[in-house]
Amino acid sequence: MPYSAGRHFLQIPGPTNVPDRVLRAISAPTIDHRGPDFAALTDDVLAAVKPVFGTAGPVVVYPSSGTGAWEAALVNTLSPGDRVLAFETGHFAALWRDLAGNLGLDVAFVPGDWRHGVDPAVVRAKLAADPTVKAVCVVHNETSTGVTSRIAEIRRAIDEAGHPALLLVDTVSSLGSIDYRHDEWGVDVTVSCSQKGLLLPPGLGFNAVSEKALRAAKTASFPRAYWDWRPILAANERGYFPYTPATNLLYGLRESLALLREEGLPQVFARHRRHAAATRAAVRAWGLEVLSLDEREHSPVLTAVLVPEEHDADKIRALILDRFNMSLGTGLGRLAGRVFRIGHLGHFNDVSLAGTLGGVQMGLELAGVPIDADGVRAALRVLESA
């Protein structure tokens, strides 16, 4: 692409815009990962990351993408052939299902319409009918659809069924953006990664681990080496890792956790909810449809917008990139061409949202998508009244 003045608007739902303070932290010289300064860095980040997960327990950090952290959650707690209950909330739930199946797990996949989250009543009924289930896998925020599942209610459903299954939750696109409580909600493994609400480039994967999950790891018989929690937790005790860690991303993590602390997590969550509400106001004013259907499940971090049948969402995205230097999220899987996704998460403020929605509105008009009213104005009213 030729030079284009002004910053690129990266409004996909992750990777997100990395704050300058984090970029500067990452650019510091790499140090000896077996030297004395490194142990202080490990101690800092492992302590500071816990409140973001809402846990007092261990958090394992991998040099990996989120997919690696998915695999780690499964191979550390389960054995080949174990039965796992999962829910088709969208593209990422389906990918996690495929990964589990490829590992040799027996996945019961509850079909879904990609417009709703996991129904706690279905969790209760499925578990009551199947005492063999070893783990329930839920994607907290389904990045392909903009639907957020209600983890506290799912926890309650598991308890009401009196079922001992582990609860494994993917928070790849929710952590650091949407209220999340690993300990309070009795989650056994929380899977996450760096490139969304944690304000970092891609490259770090996370597993927050409950005591029950640590016990399960003792009897789990999946072969595991790189993903094995045990050598990592043992090395972390001394401030190190069993292999070369992503040193510069850990510098970045220390800084991004400081940014989240400075703003305050409740304020961070409220900001994401406000931007999501303003975005929905814009979409509705345009006369378009938000993909998420249940008021209780609209994602605070992204909004998937359905385009009228006769239009191709990817052509609208391409036009917006070409004319306004802004990237929006593509429709994934069965939503290809049907939706575009507006990411409103991470390093983002009211004026960033105004610019983003301005770009979308101009793109819709130029693409010939009929628009009912000024959606930007509708969104600004929501922001002004906050």
Scanning 154-162, 169-177, 302-310, 358-366 for contacts with ligand PLP by CB under 6 A, the matching segment is 169-177
Is-contact 124 153, C-beta < 8 A? no
**DSSP assignments along 192-214, one per residue:** EESSSTT---S--EEEEE-HHHH
Instruction: Determine, following the binding rule CB under 6 A, whether residue 14 of this chain makes contact with ligand PLP.
Output: yes
Instruction: Determine, following the binding rule CB under 6 A, whether residue 193 of this chain makes contact with ligand PLP.
Output: yes
Tokens encoding 223: 């072969």
Scanning 165-173, 212-220, 255-263, 318-326 for contacts with ligand PLP by CB under 6 A, the matching segment is 165-173
Is-contact 56 71, C-beta < 8 A? no
Scanning 62-70, 75-83, 113-121, 365-373 for contacts with ligand PLP by CB under 6 A, the matching segment is 62-70
Instruction: Determine, following the binding rule CB under 6 A, whether residue 66 of this chain makes contact with ligand PLP.
Output: yes
Among 45, 61, 172, 307, binds ligand PLP (CB under 6 A): 172
Instruction: Determine, following the binding rule CB under 6 A, whether residue 170 of this chain makes contact with ligand PLP.
Output: yes
- The distance of closest approach from Cβ of residue 206 to ligand PLP in the complex, given in angstroms and rounded to an integer, is 11
- The distance of closest approach from Cβ of residue 66 to ligand PLP in the complex, given in angstroms and rounded to an integer, is 3
- CB-count burial class (<10 Å; 0-12, 13-18, 19+) for 5: exposed
- Measured distance CA(294)–CA(315) in Å, rounded: 28
- CB-count burial class (<10 Å; 0-12, 13-18, 19+) for 284: middle
Instruction: Determine, following the binding rule CB under 6 A, whether residue 192 of this chain makes contact with ligand PLP.
Output: no
Q: Which is nearer to ligand PLP, 14 or 58 (CB)?
A: 14
The most distant pair of C-alpha atoms in the chain lies apart, rounded to whole Å, by 62
- CB-count burial class (<10 Å; 0-12, 13-18, 19+) for 352: middle
- The distance of closest approach from Cβ of residue 13 to ligand PLP in the complex, given in angstroms and rounded to an integer, is 7
Q: Which residue is nearest to ligand PLP (CB)?
A: 66
- The distance of closest approach from Cβ of residue 81 to ligand PLP in the complex, given in angstroms and rounded to an integer, is 24
Residues 6+ away with beta carbon under 8 Å from 315: 367
Scanning 63-71, 223-231, 246-254, 257-265 for contacts with ligand PLP by CB under 6 A, the matching segment is 63-71
Distance between alpha carbon 142 and the CA centroid of its chain, in Å? 7
- The distance of closest approach from Cβ of residue 67 to ligand PLP in the complex, given in angstroms and rounded to an integer, is 3
Instruction: Determine, following the binding rule CB under 6 A, whether residue 143 of this chain makes contact with ligand PLP.
Output: yes
Scanning 40-48, 105-113, 170-178, 300-308 for contacts with ligand PLP by CB under 6 A, the matching segment is 170-178
- The distance of closest approach from Cβ of residue 245 to ligand PLP in the complex, given in angstroms and rounded to an integer, is 17
Instruction: Determine, following the binding rule CB under 6 A, whether residue 65 of this chain makes contact with ligand PLP.
Output: yes
Binding to ligand PLP, residues 77-106 (CB under 6 A): 92
Residues that bind ligand PLP (rule: CB under 6 A) add up to a total of 12
Instruction: Determine, following the binding rule CB under 6 A, whether residue 67 of this chain makes contact with ligand PLP.
Output: yes
Mode of pairing for the β-strands spanning 326-328 and 133-139: unpaired
**DSSP assignments along 330-350, one per residue:** PP-GGGTTTEEEEE--SS--H
Q: Which is nearer to ligand PLP, 86 or 161 (CB)?
A: 86
Is-contact 91 67, C-beta < 8 A? no
Mode of pairing for the β-strands spanning 189-193 and 205-209: antiparallel
The gap between the terminal CA atoms of the chain, to the nearest Å, is 38
Scanning 30-38, 59-67, 71-79, 374-382 for contacts with ligand PLP by CB under 6 A, the matching segment is 59-67
Residues that bind ligand PLP (CB under 6 A): 14, 65-67, 92, 139, 143, 170, 172-173, 193, 202
